[in-house]
């Protein structure tokens, strides 16, 4: 029987060839099927570095051949897979695979956000009333109170998670959003909610790049927070803003884990430069994959 430890290191690769495109299916290597085929269910999960997850159906033949078919065409087109693209699969067990996609040039692709994967970014309805700027405080953001804190019918994804439950009780006179940390956010980039950035960070969308100072503290701490400088980047391909340079240092310093939640409170805004207070809420239980939907809470107060 295959041990769990050896399974973690099982990799195989596939190159997209003309037949793959013509038949709209991807054959699983025979050597892998011989060793692990009996473990695979009819539906497998493909997990991308950006946190997206895709369910693709597995077809099996009488000759013990296996290939990805139903759902594969949509996956291939979404990531623009063409002749020469190189895919690296890492088997995690339980019919789940990590997958890396390399361009024919040899570089890993810039993964677009999936609108049909299993963890689409949740968008929150924001009040239509325009934000107001408090003239007595340069760059500070004021606006209308909006007390909702939900994820468009998916509140259940946070139930039972102590970190998100505590984070959702947070209140402020400034705009803020909540990020529950998935595996992608604790290993790769951090993305800001589209609805939040579209309303409060328009300058960054125009200039493509910007900077922010994050004052990070634990929920129990009463101090202002330790300042960290980070870079922000707007991606035209999916209209998202990511925290790039600096985020890795923060997550390593504070040992952020899956299931933890962070409140990002915008306290200053000036075109492409921003300041956020970041409060870390720790999850006290073992996280499950269903808990990693993001809840966005752009609450704002009335200007004085």
Does the fold of domain 132-291 match that of domain 4-102? Answer: yes
How far the first Cα of the chain sits from its last, in Å, is: 68
Return the higher-pLDDT residue of 237 and 212. 212
251, pLDDT greater than 80: yes
Domain range summary for the chain, segments of one domain joined by +: 4-102, 132-291
Q: What is the mean pLDDT of residues 77-103?
A: 91
Whole-number pLDDT of residue 226? 92
Whole-number pLDDT of residue 182? 79
Whole-number pLDDT of residue 302? 34
223, pLDDT greater than 50: yes
119-133, 205-219, 256-270: the lowest-pLDDT one: 119-133
111, pLDDT greater than 70: yes
Q: What is the mean pLDDT of residues 95-118?
A: 77
DSSP state of 131: P
Q: What strand order describes the sheet that includes 226-235?
A: 176-180, 261-270, 273-281, 209-218, 226-235, 240-243, 190-191
pTM score of the predicted model: 0.50
Whole-number pLDDT of residue 228? 95
Q: Which residues contact 9 (CB under 8 A, 6 or more apart)?
A: none
Whole-number pLDDT of residue 285? 66
106-110, 140-144, 202-206, 231-235: the lowest-pLDDT one: 140-144
Q: With bands split at pLDDT 50, 70 and 90, how would you rate the model's confidence at 131?
A: very low
Q: With bands split at pLDDT 50, 70 and 90, how would you rate the model's confidence at 161?
A: low
Q: With bands split at pLDDT 50, 70 and 90, how would you rate the model's confidence at 282?
A: very high
Q: Could you give the C-alpha distances from 257 to 86, 232, 265, in angstroms and in order?
A: 30, 22, 20
Return the higher-pLDDT residue of 76 and 151. 76
Q: For the chain, list the strands marked E by DSSP.
A: 11-15, 26-27, 43-47, 53-60, 66-68, 86-93, 96-102, 132-133, 141-142, 176-180, 190-191, 209-218, 226-235, 240-243, 261-270, 273-281
Return the higher-pLDDT residue of 194 and 211. 211
Which among 259, 168, 250, 170 has a CA at the least distance from the CA of 215? Answer: 250
- Residue matched to tokens 């038949």: 23
Average pLDDT of the chain, as a whole number? 77
Please state the CATH superfamily assignment of the domain spanning residues 132-291 in this structure: DNA-binding pseudobarrel domain (2.40.330.10)
Q: Which CATH number describes the domain made up of 4-102?
A: 2.40.330.10
């Amino acid at each position: 029987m295959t041990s769990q430890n050896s399974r973690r290191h099982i990799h195989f690769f596939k190159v997209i060839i003309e037949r793959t495109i013509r038949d709209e299916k991807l054959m699983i290597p025979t050597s892998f099927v011989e060793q692990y085929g009996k473990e695979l269910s009819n539906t497998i999960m493909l997990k991308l570095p950006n946190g997206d997850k895709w369910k693709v159906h597995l077809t099996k033949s009488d000759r013990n051949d296996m290939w990805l078919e139903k759902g594969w065409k949509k996956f291939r087109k979404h990531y623009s897979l063409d002749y020469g693209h190189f895919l690296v699969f890492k088997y995690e067990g339980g019919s789940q695979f990590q997958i890396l996609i390399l361009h024919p040039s040899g570089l890993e692709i810039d993964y677009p956000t999936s609108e049909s994967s299993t963890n689409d970014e949740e968008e929150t309805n924001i009040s239509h009333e325009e934000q107001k700027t408090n003239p007595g405080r340069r760059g500070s953001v004021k606006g209308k109170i909006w007390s909702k804190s939900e994820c468009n019918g998916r509140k259940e994804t946070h139930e039972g998670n102590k970190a998100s439950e505590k984070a959702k009780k947070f209140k402020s006179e400034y705009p803020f959003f909540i990020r529950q940390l998935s595996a992608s956010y604790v290993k790769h980039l951090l993305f800001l909610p589209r609805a939040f950035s579209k309303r409060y960070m328009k300058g960054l969308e125009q200039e493509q790049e910007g900077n922010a100072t994050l004052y990070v503290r634990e929920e129990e701490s009463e101090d202002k927070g330790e300042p960290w400088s980070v870079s922000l980047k707007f991606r035209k391909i999916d209209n998202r803003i990511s925290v790039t340079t600096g985020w890795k240092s923060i997550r390593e310093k504070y040992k952020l884990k899956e299931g933890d939640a962070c409140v990002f409170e915008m306290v200053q805004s000036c075109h492409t430069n921003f300041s956020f207070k970041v409060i870390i809420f720790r999850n006290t239980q073992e996280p499950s994959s269903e808990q990693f939907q993001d809840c966005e809470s752009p609450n704002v107060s009335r200007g004085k």
